Amino acid sequence: MTTRPDHRVPTAPENDPPDAATPILRLDGVDAFIGESHILHGVGFTVPAGQITALLGRNGAGKTTTLRSILGLVERRGSIDLDGQDVSGSTTHDVVRRGVGYVPENRDVFAGLTVAENLRLAERPGAGHRYDLVHELFPRLKERRGQRAGSMSGGEQQMLALARALLNDDNRLLLIDEPSQGLAPNLVREVAVALEQMAQLVTTVVVEQNLAVIRHMARRVVVLDQGRVVHEGSAPEFFEDEALTQELLGVHHGGAHR
């Protein structure tokens, strides 16, 4: 059981978990399409188990489409290997049932449903449901379980979206898209702490524009540009190389995207 989160900016774990080298997700030659547009061009990278992998890139680089490709929410081709099984031809619900939690870019909580109903909907039959952990990480969700999700603040909706992804105890991979987008600075810190706690339990891929949130917790980084992978490697090394971050992301050291 995790402890109640504090509000320190999290740091990367000292030692990688024993199975860190084992890839839980491997993409190879993935092309993705939205309508007539060809968005991803031969994207390939691996996500080691037990770590946070940051998926970075400028606006329109294809980060969100990459997550949606893994889930089958967009038309895709190529190989997507999830824990040893090819899911490139699987439907979205089949991919998710293999143990994937998803937090979309705009949270997509069900506005007309209560907090409790949103969480109940996320319960997967056959899995255990980590309500204790979810309520410990996000105590406000317990207080507001009868409230309609649409009437909550952006930060609370983000907490609900994260809680929904974390709820099932058989989840092996979390795909989290822009968790700090549109949040006040104090909420960004709160979400970052929660992310770190979640990543200690489940392998996590995070798309994040705010590098201050991700740079201290990610172990691995994948950078996309115009639908192609242009860099893949150690996150600490990447963030230390100011010239590289400037070249690939257009940011100054430690800053957010321009």
Partner 1 sequence: MTTFLLLTVTGLGLAGLYFLVASGLSLIYGLMDVLNFAHAAFLTVGAYASWLVGTELTGVLPVGVVFVVALLAGLVVGTLVAVLMELGLVRRLYGDHVGQVLLTVGLLLAVTALARAVFGSDPVRVVVPDWMNEVTRIGGAAVPNSRLVVIVTAALVFAGLMFFLRRTRYGLVIRAGVENRDMVSALGIDVGRAFTLVFAIGGALASLAGILTGAFFGTITAEQGTSLLIFAFIVVIIGGLGSIPGSALAALAVGLLQQYANYYGAVGMGDLIVVAMLAVVLLVRPQGLLGRVA
Closest CA to 175 of 166, 186, 167, 184: 166
- State the minimum distance, in angstroms, from the CB of residue 226 to partner 1: 25
Please identify which residue in 112, 146, 243, 258 interacts with partner 1, judged by CB under 8 A: 112
Query: Taking each helix axis from N to C terminus, what angle separates 115-122 and 154-166, rounded to the nearest 10 degrees?
Result: 30
211 is a site residue for partner 1 (CB under 8 A): no
Residue 134 interacts with partner 1 (CB under 8 A): yes or no: no
* Alpha carbon distance 53, 214 (integer Å): 9
Examine residue 34 and tell whether it contacts partner 1 (CB under 8 A): no
| Placement of tokens 């590289």 in the chain | 244
Which amino acid, one-letter code, is at 105?
Answer: E
Q: Which helix (H) or strand (E) holds 233?
A: strand 228-234
Region of 46-54, 114-122, 139-147, 180-188 interacting with partner 1 (CB under 8 A): 114-122
Q: Which is nearer to partner 1, 140 or 148 (CB)?
A: 148
Q: Build a one-symbol-per-residue string for 156-195: x at contacts with partner 1 by CB under 8 A, - elsewhere.
A: --------x-------------------------------
How far apart (Å, rounded) are the C-alpha atoms in residues 161 and 167? 10
Pair of tokens at residue 179: 């968790």
Interface with partner 1 (CB under 8 A): 71, 73, 91-93, 96-97, 102, 104, 108, 110-113, 117, 120-122, 124, 164
